[in-house]
Amino acid sequence: MRTLVTGGAGYIGSNLVDALMAEGHDVSVVDNLSTGRIENIAHWLGHDRFHFVCDTILNRDLVDHLVAGVDLVYHLAALVGVKYIVDDPVEGIRTNVTGTEIVLEKAYKYWKRTVIASSSEVYGRNPDVPWREDGQSVFGPTTVSRWSYAFSKALDEHLAHSYSLQGLPVTAVRYFNSYGPRLDPNGYGSVVARFITQARAGQPITVYGDGCQTRSFTYVDDTVRGTILAGTVPAAVGQVFNIGSNREIAIRDLGAKIRDLVASASDIVHVPLQEAYGDHFEEIPRRVPDTQRAVRVLGFRAGTPLEQGLKKTLAWFESLDS
Ligand code: UDP
Protein backbone atom coordinates (compact mmCIF):
# COMPACT_ATOMS: atom_id res chain seq x y z
CA MET A 1 0.00 0.00 0.00
CA ARG A 2 1.13 3.59 -0.58
CA THR A 3 0.93 5.51 2.68
CA LEU A 4 1.51 9.10 3.75
CA VAL A 5 2.67 9.84 7.28
CA THR A 6 2.44 13.52 8.18
CA GLY A 7 4.80 14.22 11.07
CA GLY A 8 6.71 11.07 10.11
CA ALA A 9 10.01 12.33 11.54
CA GLY A 10 8.49 12.79 14.97
CA TYR A 11 8.61 10.43 17.89
CA ILE A 12 5.44 8.38 17.19
CA GLY A 13 5.48 9.17 13.46
CA SER A 14 8.95 7.72 12.87
CA ASN A 15 8.14 4.59 14.85
CA LEU A 16 5.04 4.25 12.66
CA VAL A 17 7.22 4.68 9.56
CA ASP A 18 9.48 1.83 10.73
CA ALA A 19 6.48 -0.47 11.16
CA LEU A 20 5.00 0.43 7.77
CA MET A 21 8.34 -0.02 6.01
CA ALA A 22 8.81 -3.37 7.75
CA GLU A 23 5.41 -4.44 6.42
CA GLY A 24 6.59 -3.64 2.90
CA HIS A 25 4.51 -0.53 2.24
CA ASP A 26 5.55 2.51 0.25
CA VAL A 27 5.90 5.37 2.75
CA SER A 28 5.91 9.11 2.10
CA VAL A 29 6.69 11.48 4.95
CA VAL A 30 6.06 15.19 5.22
CA ASP A 31 7.60 16.84 8.27
CA ASN A 32 8.96 20.34 8.80
CA LEU A 33 11.40 19.09 11.44
CA SER A 34 10.13 21.60 13.99
CA THR A 35 10.00 18.96 16.69
CA GLY A 36 10.64 15.95 14.47
CA ARG A 37 14.28 14.99 13.91
CA ILE A 38 15.99 13.84 10.73
CA GLU A 39 17.92 11.26 12.79
CA ASN A 40 14.64 9.46 13.39
CA ILE A 41 14.23 8.61 9.71
CA ALA A 42 17.83 8.88 8.46
CA HIS A 43 18.08 5.09 8.12
CA TRP A 44 15.36 5.13 5.44
CA LEU A 45 16.66 7.99 3.31
CA GLY A 46 17.58 6.64 -0.10
CA HIS A 47 15.36 3.56 0.20
CA ASP A 48 13.27 3.12 -2.95
CA ARG A 49 10.00 2.73 -0.97
CA PHE A 50 10.66 5.81 1.18
CA HIS A 51 10.09 9.44 0.23
CA PHE A 52 10.72 12.44 2.47
CA VAL A 53 9.58 16.02 1.99
CA CYS A 54 10.76 18.63 4.47
CA ASP A 55 7.88 21.08 4.56
CA THR A 56 4.87 22.15 6.58
CA ILE A 57 1.42 20.63 6.25
CA LEU A 58 0.18 24.22 5.98
CA ASN A 59 1.48 24.06 2.39
CA ARG A 60 -1.88 23.28 0.78
CA ASP A 61 -0.56 22.52 -2.72
CA LEU A 62 2.04 20.14 -1.40
CA VAL A 63 -0.50 18.29 0.75
CA ASP A 64 -2.80 18.09 -2.28
CA HIS A 65 -0.03 16.49 -4.33
CA LEU A 66 1.01 14.07 -1.57
CA VAL A 67 -2.49 12.90 -0.65
CA ALA A 68 -3.34 12.39 -4.34
CA GLY A 69 -0.46 9.91 -4.63
CA VAL A 70 -1.26 7.51 -1.77
CA ASP A 71 -3.92 5.03 -0.64
CA LEU A 72 -3.91 5.77 3.08
CA VAL A 73 -3.06 8.84 5.18
CA TYR A 74 -1.79 8.81 8.76
CA HIS A 75 -2.00 12.38 9.98
CA LEU A 76 0.30 12.82 12.97
CA ALA A 77 1.84 16.22 12.24
CA ALA A 78 1.03 18.53 15.12
CA LEU A 79 2.54 20.69 17.75
CA VAL A 80 2.33 17.99 20.36
CA GLY A 81 1.94 18.33 24.06
CA VAL A 82 0.58 20.91 26.40
CA LYS A 83 3.97 22.41 27.13
CA TYR A 84 4.71 23.38 23.51
CA ILE A 85 1.27 24.88 23.20
CA VAL A 86 1.62 26.93 26.34
CA ASP A 87 4.95 28.23 24.97
CA ASP A 88 3.45 29.25 21.60
CA PRO A 89 -0.36 29.03 21.58
CA VAL A 90 -0.88 30.77 18.23
CA GLU A 91 1.47 28.47 16.36
CA GLY A 92 -0.05 25.49 18.14
CA ILE A 93 -3.57 26.34 17.08
CA ARG A 94 -2.49 27.11 13.52
CA THR A 95 -0.66 23.82 13.08
CA ASN A 96 -3.16 21.65 14.89
CA VAL A 97 -6.36 23.12 13.50
CA THR A 98 -5.49 24.57 10.08
CA GLY A 99 -3.08 21.70 9.34
CA THR A 100 -5.70 19.07 10.02
CA GLU A 101 -8.29 21.00 8.07
CA ILE A 102 -5.99 20.97 5.03
CA VAL A 103 -5.19 17.27 5.33
CA LEU A 104 -8.87 16.32 5.69
CA GLU A 105 -9.91 18.60 2.85
CA LYS A 106 -7.47 16.84 0.53
CA ALA A 107 -8.35 13.38 1.83
CA TYR A 108 -11.98 14.19 1.04
CA LYS A 109 -11.10 15.58 -2.38
CA TYR A 110 -9.30 12.35 -3.35
CA TRP A 111 -11.41 10.05 -1.15
CA LYS A 112 -8.52 8.55 0.80
CA ARG A 113 -8.85 6.60 4.02
CA THR A 114 -7.36 8.66 6.84
CA VAL A 115 -6.34 8.25 10.47
CA ILE A 116 -5.95 11.39 12.52
CA ALA A 117 -3.92 11.41 15.71
CA SER A 118 -5.73 12.91 18.66
CA SER A 119 -5.00 12.83 22.34
CA SER A 120 -6.36 11.80 25.71
CA GLU A 121 -6.26 15.55 26.38
CA VAL A 122 -9.68 15.74 24.70
CA TYR A 123 -11.21 14.37 27.90
CA GLY A 124 -9.85 17.40 29.74
CA ARG A 125 -10.50 17.05 33.43
CA ASN A 126 -13.43 14.68 33.10
CA PRO A 127 -13.62 13.11 36.60
CA ASP A 128 -15.37 10.00 35.30
CA VAL A 129 -12.32 7.71 34.98
CA PRO A 130 -11.65 5.39 33.11
CA TRP A 131 -12.59 7.41 30.06
CA ARG A 132 -14.83 5.90 27.43
CA GLU A 133 -14.70 7.29 23.90
CA ASP A 134 -18.25 8.64 24.26
CA GLY A 135 -17.40 10.33 27.58
CA GLN A 136 -17.49 14.06 28.20
CA SER A 137 -14.82 16.61 27.28
CA VAL A 138 -14.46 18.85 30.34
CA PHE A 139 -12.31 21.87 29.56
CA GLY A 140 -11.33 24.98 31.45
CA PRO A 141 -11.67 28.60 30.34
CA THR A 142 -10.46 29.81 26.95
CA THR A 143 -8.29 32.39 28.71
CA VAL A 144 -6.03 29.61 29.96
CA SER A 145 -3.63 28.56 27.17
CA ARG A 146 -3.13 25.01 28.41
CA TRP A 147 -6.64 24.21 27.23
CA SER A 148 -5.99 25.25 23.65
CA TYR A 149 -4.27 21.91 22.98
CA ALA A 150 -7.37 20.04 24.15
CA PHE A 151 -9.67 22.39 22.22
CA SER A 152 -7.58 22.09 19.05
CA LYS A 153 -7.53 18.29 19.16
CA ALA A 154 -11.25 18.21 19.93
CA LEU A 155 -11.89 20.47 16.94
CA ASP A 156 -9.78 18.12 14.77
CA GLU A 157 -12.01 15.27 15.87
CA HIS A 158 -15.13 17.32 15.11
CA LEU A 159 -13.79 17.97 11.63
CA ALA A 160 -13.01 14.29 11.11
CA HIS A 161 -16.46 13.35 12.34
CA SER A 162 -18.07 15.91 10.01
CA TYR A 163 -16.17 14.59 7.00
CA SER A 164 -17.11 11.09 8.06
CA LEU A 165 -20.78 12.08 7.92
CA GLN A 166 -20.11 13.07 4.31
CA GLY A 167 -18.71 9.61 3.66
CA LEU A 168 -14.96 10.05 4.15
CA PRO A 169 -13.45 6.88 5.64
CA VAL A 170 -11.73 8.50 8.60
CA THR A 171 -10.78 7.28 12.09
CA ALA A 172 -9.40 9.18 15.08
CA VAL A 173 -7.04 7.73 17.67
CA ARG A 174 -6.59 9.20 21.14
CA TYR A 175 -3.11 8.51 22.42
CA PHE A 176 -2.46 8.01 26.09
CA ASN A 177 1.05 8.99 27.30
CA SER A 178 3.10 7.15 24.73
CA TYR A 179 6.75 6.51 25.61
CA GLY A 180 9.67 4.69 24.04
CA PRO A 181 12.71 5.14 21.81
CA ARG A 182 12.97 8.57 20.10
CA LEU A 183 11.34 10.55 22.83
CA ASP A 184 13.06 13.91 22.97
CA PRO A 185 16.39 12.98 24.60
CA ASN A 186 16.45 16.38 26.27
CA GLY A 187 13.39 15.29 28.18
CA TYR A 188 11.08 17.92 26.72
CA GLY A 189 7.44 16.93 26.55
CA SER A 190 7.43 13.61 28.39
CA VAL A 191 7.91 12.76 32.02
CA VAL A 192 9.44 9.39 31.11
CA ALA A 193 12.20 11.06 29.10
CA ARG A 194 12.75 13.66 31.82
CA PHE A 195 13.03 11.13 34.61
CA ILE A 196 15.38 8.86 32.62
CA THR A 197 17.59 11.82 31.73
CA GLN A 198 17.60 13.10 35.30
CA ALA A 199 18.28 9.65 36.78
CA ARG A 200 21.14 8.97 34.38
CA ALA A 201 22.75 12.33 35.18
CA GLY A 202 22.35 11.78 38.93
CA GLN A 203 20.24 14.93 39.07
CA PRO A 204 17.12 15.23 41.22
CA ILE A 205 14.06 13.52 39.79
CA THR A 206 11.45 16.28 39.73
CA VAL A 207 8.00 15.06 40.71
CA TYR A 208 5.47 17.84 40.19
CA GLY A 209 3.00 18.35 43.02
CA ASP A 210 2.49 15.46 45.40
CA GLY A 211 3.04 12.92 42.61
CA CYS A 212 -0.30 11.19 43.27
CA GLN A 213 -1.53 12.14 39.79
CA THR A 214 -1.65 9.07 37.56
CA ARG A 215 -1.05 8.29 33.91
CA SER A 216 -1.41 5.17 31.75
CA PHE A 217 1.93 4.92 29.99
CA THR A 218 1.79 3.18 26.64
CA TYR A 219 4.84 1.72 24.94
CA VAL A 220 5.33 3.12 21.46
CA ASP A 221 5.17 -0.26 19.70
CA ASP A 222 1.65 -0.59 21.10
CA THR A 223 0.79 2.99 20.11
CA VAL A 224 1.92 2.24 16.57
CA ARG A 225 0.08 -1.08 16.35
CA GLY A 226 -3.15 0.56 17.46
CA THR A 227 -2.67 3.29 14.87
CA ILE A 228 -2.10 0.81 12.04
CA LEU A 229 -5.17 -1.20 13.03
CA ALA A 230 -7.22 2.01 13.07
CA GLY A 231 -6.18 2.54 9.45
CA THR A 232 -6.82 -1.00 8.25
CA VAL A 233 -9.65 -2.67 10.18
CA PRO A 234 -12.79 -2.03 8.07
CA ALA A 235 -15.09 -1.56 11.09
CA ALA A 236 -12.84 1.22 12.45
CA VAL A 237 -14.09 3.68 9.84
CA GLY A 238 -16.06 6.56 11.31
CA GLN A 239 -15.01 5.81 14.88
CA VAL A 240 -12.66 7.15 17.54
CA PHE A 241 -10.47 4.92 19.71
CA ASN A 242 -8.53 5.20 22.93
CA ILE A 243 -5.06 3.86 22.21
CA GLY A 244 -3.54 3.27 25.58
CA SER A 245 -2.59 0.88 28.31
CA ASN A 246 -5.00 0.40 31.19
CA ARG A 247 -2.16 0.09 33.69
CA GLU A 248 -2.37 3.24 35.82
CA ILE A 249 0.64 4.44 37.80
CA ALA A 250 1.20 7.43 40.07
CA ILE A 251 3.97 9.76 38.92
CA ARG A 252 5.88 9.45 42.19
CA ASP A 253 5.90 5.66 41.74
CA LEU A 254 7.12 6.11 38.18
CA GLY A 255 9.97 8.26 39.53
CA ALA A 256 11.00 5.54 41.98
CA LYS A 257 10.72 2.86 39.31
CA ILE A 258 12.92 4.73 36.86
CA ARG A 259 15.46 5.56 39.55
CA ASP A 260 15.71 1.84 40.45
CA LEU A 261 15.91 0.79 36.81
CA VAL A 262 18.77 3.20 36.13
CA ALA A 263 20.37 2.25 39.50
CA SER A 264 20.69 5.96 40.10
CA ALA A 265 21.48 7.77 43.33
CA SER A 266 19.21 10.69 42.32
CA ASP A 267 17.01 12.22 44.98
CA ILE A 268 13.30 12.37 44.27
CA VAL A 269 12.19 15.95 44.88
CA HIS A 270 8.74 17.50 44.79
CA VAL A 271 8.33 20.68 42.76
CA PRO A 272 5.19 22.78 43.31
CA LEU A 273 2.96 22.72 40.23
CA GLN A 274 2.96 26.48 40.04
CA GLU A 275 6.76 26.53 39.91
CA ALA A 276 6.75 23.88 37.17
CA TYR A 277 4.04 25.31 34.94
CA GLY A 278 3.37 28.86 36.11
CA ASP A 279 0.02 30.26 37.18
CA HIS A 280 -3.27 28.95 35.83
CA PHE A 281 -2.02 25.47 35.08
CA GLU A 282 -4.43 22.69 35.78
CA GLU A 283 -3.06 19.24 36.42
CA ILE A 284 -5.15 16.27 35.27
CA PRO A 285 -5.35 14.05 38.40
CA ARG A 286 -6.05 10.72 36.67
CA ARG A 287 -5.75 9.71 33.05
CA VAL A 288 -6.90 6.17 32.28
CA PRO A 289 -8.48 4.82 29.08
CA ASP A 290 -11.41 2.49 28.88
CA THR A 291 -10.01 0.04 26.34
CA GLN A 292 -13.10 -2.03 25.52
CA ARG A 293 -13.87 -0.45 22.17
CA ALA A 294 -10.30 -0.89 20.93
CA VAL A 295 -10.34 -4.53 22.03
CA ARG A 296 -13.74 -5.19 20.50
CA VAL A 297 -13.38 -3.41 17.16
CA LEU A 298 -9.64 -3.35 16.52
CA GLY A 299 -8.62 -6.46 18.43
CA PHE A 300 -6.09 -4.17 20.10
CA ARG A 301 -4.64 -4.36 23.59
CA ALA A 302 -1.54 -2.42 24.71
CA GLY A 303 0.28 -5.46 26.00
CA THR A 304 3.85 -4.29 26.72
CA PRO A 305 4.46 -4.35 30.49
CA LEU A 306 5.69 -1.00 31.83
CA GLU A 307 8.92 -2.51 33.19
CA GLN A 308 9.77 -4.03 29.82
CA GLY A 309 8.96 -0.83 27.92
CA LEU A 310 11.02 1.29 30.30
CA LYS A 311 13.98 -1.08 29.89
CA LYS A 312 13.83 -0.78 26.11
CA THR A 313 13.48 2.99 26.37
CA LEU A 314 16.46 3.21 28.71
CA ALA A 315 18.50 1.04 26.33
CA TRP A 316 17.76 3.52 23.56
CA PHE A 317 18.85 6.47 25.70
CA GLU A 318 22.08 4.60 26.49
CA SER A 319 22.66 3.89 22.80
CA LEU A 320 22.84 7.64 22.18
CA ASP A 321 26.04 7.78 24.26
CA SER A 322 28.02 5.67 21.82
N1 UDP B 1 5.67 15.53 35.53
C2 UDP B 1 6.46 15.50 36.67
N3 UDP B 1 7.77 15.89 36.57
C4 UDP B 1 8.32 16.30 35.39
C5 UDP B 1 7.52 16.32 34.23
C6 UDP B 1 6.19 15.93 34.34
O7 UDP B 1 6.01 15.13 37.77
O8 UDP B 1 9.52 16.62 35.38
C9 UDP B 1 4.28 15.08 35.65
C10 UDP B 1 3.25 16.02 35.04
O11 UDP B 1 2.88 17.02 35.96
C12 UDP B 1 2.11 15.06 34.74
C13 UDP B 1 2.83 13.75 34.39
O14 UDP B 1 4.15 13.88 34.92
O15 UDP B 1 1.34 14.82 35.88
C16 UDP B 1 2.91 13.48 32.90
O17 UDP B 1 3.49 14.61 32.28
P18 UDP B 1 3.81 14.64 30.73
O19 UDP B 1 4.31 16.02 30.43
O20 UDP B 1 4.68 13.50 30.36
O21 UDP B 1 2.40 14.38 30.02
P22 UDP B 1 0.90 14.89 30.30
O23 UDP B 1 0.17 13.67 30.72
O24 UDP B 1 0.90 15.92 31.39
O25 UDP B 1 0.46 15.42 29.00
Atom of ligand 1 nearest to the CA of 287: 23
Residue-wise pLDDT for 145-188, tens only, equals 889 999 999 999 999 999 999 999 999 999 999 999 999 988 78
- The dihedral built from the CA positions of residue 173, 249, 208 and 194, taken in this order, carries a sign that is negative
Minimal-distance CA residue to ligand 1 atom 17: 191
| pLDDT surpassing 80 at residue 82 | no
The mean pLDDT of 205-211, rounded to a whole number, is 96
**Where does the pLDDT of residue 258 fall: very low under 50, low under 70, confident under 90, or very high at 90 and above?**
very high
Whether the pLDDT of residue 97 is over 80: the answer is yes
Expressed in angstroms and rounded, the spacing between residue 191 Cα and the centre of ligand 1 is 5
Could you tell me if the CB of 82 is within 6 A of ligand 1?
yes
Asked if 179 is an active-site residue, the reply is: no
How many angstroms separate the CA atoms of 111 and 74, rounded?
14
Contact 132, 77 (CB under 8 A): no
Chain mean pLDDT for the chain: 96
pTM of the model: 0.97
Choice among 84, 149, 163, 277 that is catalytic = 149
Closest atom of ligand 1 to 121 CA is 25
Could you give the angle at the alpha carbon of 15 between the alpha carbons of 86 and 158, nearest 5°? 50
Atom of ligand 1 nearest to the CA of 252: 7
pLDDT digits (tens, 9 = 90+) for 10-38: 999 999 999 999 999 999 999 999 999 99
